[in-house]
Amino acid sequence: MTRFLLTAAAMVACGSSIKALDEPIQTPIFVSGQGGYHTYRIPSLIVSKKGVLLAFCEGRKKTRSDTGDIDLLLRRSADGGKTWSPTQVVWDDGANTCGNPCPVLDRDTAVLWLLMTHNLGEDTEAKIMAGKSKGTRAVWVSRSDDDGATWSKPIDISKDVRKPDMTWYATGPGVGIQTRDGKLIIPCDHSKVGAVNMHSHVIYSSDHGKTWKLGGAVGPKCDESQVIERADGSLLLNIRSQHGKNRRALSISKDGGLTWSAPMHDDTLIEPVCQASILRHPAKPGVVLFSNPASKKREKMTLRISSDDAKTWPTSHVLHAGPAAYSCLAVLPNGDIACLYERGDKNAYETITFARLKGE
C-alpha cells in the first residue's frame, strides 16, 4: 500500500494541511478478471448528501474493448472507503453496451441522478461515427432516492439532448455538477454525421432533473470533458484535447453553459489524450483539484491542486508512477480527498483503485 507525502507547498495551496494517513490509503476495489468481468473501466466517484461514497464503473464481460457486452456497476461505502458493499449491477441490457456513468447530486432534493449512454453491442464506435451502425448511441437517465441503494428503471432522454446529426455521444465520464443557482450540468461529447472530429458539450436541468436540455458545444477536436463552476459564476470546461499538443484544452461559459469560448490550452496540464477529473473543493473557496496521467502516455497518475480557481497549478503529487488512465475525484464530508482511478503494473486497466488523502 502507498502513502502520500505532500510538500509544504501543497499544504499552503489547499489552505490547510494534507498529510499521509496512518492506515493504507490505496485499495483496488474492482480487479479485472474477477467477479465475472474481463475488464473494469471508466471510474466515477461521488458522495451522496448523507455522506455515502459511490464508485461506478463499466464491467466489460468478455474483452477490454469499448464495444460489446458492458454493464454499469456500482460499489458503495458508508465509512469513507474503508469497506465496500458487494458489486451492484445498475444496468444490464444483455449483450448491449451500458456505460459512461456520469452521476450528479442534487443538494436540494438529495436525489442522485445518473446519466448514461447505450448502444447495441455489435455497433462499434467507428461504425456509429461513420453512420453505418444498426442502432444509435442513446442517452439515458436513472435516479436514486436512497443514496444509491436502489435505482429507477433507466429512461431514454435522447430526444431532448441529442440532435439528429449527432452520431457518437458520451456522457462524462466522471461527474456532473450543481451550480449555486441549482442547475444540474452534465459534461458530454459527440461527433457529427460525416465528421471525424469530436465536440464537447453539456446538457442541463433547471428543474431538479425532471427535464433535460441540450446546452452549448465547443470544438472541433474537443473530446471527453469535466466542468466546474468558478467563484465568479462562470463555468470552466476542462477537455481531452485532440489538437496534437498533449495539453488539456479549456473553454469558458458565462451564460450557464449555453455558449462556450473557443478552446485554449493549459501548458501545465500535460496529457496523453485521455480523460481527466477536475473538482472544485466544496469547503475551500478558490481551491480546485485535478487528476490525470501527467505524461505523453497513459502513466503517472497525478493529483494537482490550485488555490486560484484553476488558473495555476503550483502543487502536484504522483499517486502512481506506473500505467494509469481514467480517474475521478471526490471530497469526503470530513475534508479528505479521494481519487478513483485506473491503474496497473503492466497496463492501466488491471484495477480500478480507490485512493484517499487526509485533509484537515
pLDDT confidence tier of residue 184, bands split at 50, 70 and 90: very high
Radius of gyration of the CA atoms of the chain, in A: 19
Mean pLDDT, the chain, whole residue set: 92
Which pLDDT score is estimated for 193? Answer: 86
For residue range 107-158, list pLDDT tens digits in order: 999 999 999 999 999 999 989 988 889 999 999 999 999 999 999 999 999 9
Residue 24's Cβ-count burial label (10 Å; 0-12, 13-18, 19+) is exposed
For residue range 275-289, list pLDDT tens digits in order: 999 999 999 999 999
Q: Which of 232, 228, 227 is nearest to 200 (CA)?
A: 227
For residue range 46-57, list pLDDT tens digits in order: 999 999 999 999
Which pLDDT score is estimated for 12? Answer: 37
Query: Per the structure block, which three cell numbers stand in for 76?
Result: 458503495
Identity at 300, one-letter amino acid code: K
Q: Compute the average pLDDT of residues 13-39.
A: 72
Cα angle, residue 61 at apex, residues 166 and 100 outer, rounded to 5°:
35
Which pLDDT score is estimated for 339? Answer: 97
Residue 346's Cβ-count burial label (10 Å; 0-12, 13-18, 19+) is exposed
Residue 117: how many CA atoms within 13 Å on its side-chain side? 27
Which pLDDT score is estimated for 20? Answer: 41
Q: Compute the average pLDDT of residues 1-21.
A: 40
Element (H, E) at 268: strand 264-270
Q: Which of 145, 152, 123 is nearest to 136 (CA)?
A: 123
Instruction: Enumerate the β-bridge partners of residue 302.
Output: 292, 318
Query: Per the structure block, which three cell numbers stand in for 175?
Result: 461527474
Which pLDDT score is estimated for 1? Answer: 39
pLDDT confidence tier of residue 360, bands split at 50, 70 and 90: low
